[in-house]
Copies of this chain bind each other. A is one copy, B any other.
Amino acid sequence: MANIKFTVKNKINSRCCKARTGILELKHGAVNTPAFVPVATKAAIKALTKDDLEELGIEILMCNTYHLMLKPGSKTIDELGKLNRFMHWEKPVMTDSGGFQAFSLGYGMEFTTGKLFFYEDDALGKKDIKNIKKNSGPKLAKITEEGIHFKSVYDGSRHFLSPEESMRIQHELGSDIMFAFDECTSPLATYNYTKESLARTHRWAERCIIFHKKEKTGQALFGIIQGGHYEDLRKEGTEFICGLPFDGIAIGGSLGKSKKEMGEILDWIVPGIPGDRPIHLLGIGAVEDIFESVKRGIDLFDCVSPARLARSGYVYILPKSGGSAKNKFRYRIKNAGFEKDTRPLDPECGCRMCRTYSRAYVNHLFRSDEYLAYTIATYHNLYFILDLMKEIRKAIDENRFEGLMGGWVGV
């Protein structure tokens, strides 16, 4: 489809490291890869202004189709000049397909094992959770060959998403990169269910391409490889999705229960993806996971965790300041023990918040429920991850990625 230009700059090609750097050129600008894509779920990064985002050097944001189609509506965003103008952000934006939330917020669904579906959403406040409980039931979401019927978490109103609808909505949103409409199966899904679902996801992928091709919007479209934790299904998914003319390839769904399983699953998939396509790993953002995936050749990640952790009072910390795989490179600034700590959140961090505020003050802000706490912690956490990505790109370019990774998490 050629709606992007992806240039691989440097690639490490040792037996166990395939890390690479590249430049992804999109409608609204270039993105240096490997890149972490912060999630602006409802067209905003919680508690940060546009100036903060620019100061952080963010090159691309991920917005959430499900939430935006319901509030304020994709038609409204279209009328207001599409996502970039709506949210006053000049750089690239990607949008997911909307399917993930339509499924995952419709937990207790008929098609899975009967257990609760995994529940992962950044955008929900207390009011939303209350609404979900009110509107939830065994049939909050229903899947057919055509698409997904679901109820809004906001007001219980009925909605429908299909490959064509998802494309149409993402066209209205006007993102630089869209994702194909797929079913993200539950980690609890059986082999048979996952296999059936994968076949449907493939039929949906073709429908997305057909619909998107007609519209000629110039937006890039990424296909998504599903298949759960089943090797043959993942390989089948990889072959099928890479056989379609997608601008990039995403890896979605369950990546197993451990870091080791994640590595294995990626090893089934990544070698099957042609080297000229950018690869996006959906929903991954922990430090160790980033290293493990970059090592295997992943170019893009999106994850809500830096902002979500920030809101829970967790702040990232560099290895030099005591961060390690054991403490997940973070500590809880809300905890007792920091009330009189005059050091910055991370004494080795160069971010504006660490240059300004002490742990004692941020501890006080969290304990006093001051919004400023979220601004400070979110900014710091995003700076941490974005700076890590910069370090990683530099290390790859200088052919010392494995050394960097060793220093952080061991190889």
Chain A interface (Cβ within 8 Å of chain B)? 42-51, 67, 71-72, 76, 79-81, 86-88, 123, 125, 127, 339-340, 342, 352-353, 356-358, 360-361, 363-365, 367-372, 374-376
Q: Is the CB of A369 within 8 A of B125?
A: yes
* Chain B residues in 8 Å Cβ range of A375: 47, 49, 371, 375
Leading 10 A-B pairs by shortest Cβ distance: A47-B371, A42-B368, A44-B370, A44-B372, A72-B364, A125-B369, A46-B371, A80-B360, A371-B371, A88-B356
Partner of A49, one of B339, B369, B372: B372
Q: Is the CB of B71 within 8 A of A367?
A: yes
Q: Is the CB of A88 within 8 A of B361?
A: yes
Q: Is the CB of A88 within 8 A of B46?
A: no
* Chain B residues in 8 Å Cβ range of A365: 42, 44
Q: Is the CB of B374 within 8 A of A71?
A: no
C-alpha gap A408/B365 in the complex (Å): 38
* Chain B residues in 8 Å Cβ range of A47: 47, 371-372, 375
C-alpha gap A125/B375 in the complex (Å): 18
Q: Can you identify 9 A-B contacts, CB atoms within 8 angstroms? A: A46-B371, A47-B372, A49-B356, A49-B376, A51-B352, A67-B368, A72-B364, A86-B364, A125-B369
- Copies assembled: 2
Partner of A88, one of B67, B80, B81, B358: B358
Q: Is the CB of B86 within 8 A of A46?
A: no
C-alpha gap A55/B374 in the complex (Å): 20
* Chain B residues in 8 Å Cβ range of A372: 44-49
* Chain B residues in 8 Å Cβ range of A356: 49-51, 88
C-alpha gap A369/B371 in the complex (Å): 12
Q: Known contacts being A88-B361, A356-B49, A356-B50, is A339 close to B72, with CB within 8 Å?
A: yes
14 other contacts beyond A86-B358, A88-B358, with CB at 8 A cut-off?
A: A42-B364, A42-B368, A47-B372, A49-B353, A51-B352, A72-B364, A76-B339, A76-B340, A80-B340, A80-B361, A86-B364, A88-B361, A123-B368, A371-B374
C-alpha gap A357/B85 in the complex (Å): 9
C-alpha gap A127/B42 in the complex (Å): 26
**Nearest Cβ in chain B — how far from A118, in angstroms?**
23
* Chain B residues in 8 Å Cβ range of A353: 49
* Chain B residues in 8 Å Cβ range of A46: 370-372
C-alpha gap A370/B124 in the complex (Å): 10
* Chain B residues in 8 Å Cβ range of A339: 72, 76
C-alpha gap A363/B44 in the complex (Å): 12
* Chain B residues in 8 Å Cβ range of A361: 43, 80, 86-88
Chain B CB within 10 A, most for which of A46, A87, A368: A368
* Chain B residues in 8 Å Cβ range of A51: 352, 356
Q: Known contacts being A49-B376, A374-B371, is A88 close to B357, with CB within 8 Å?
A: yes
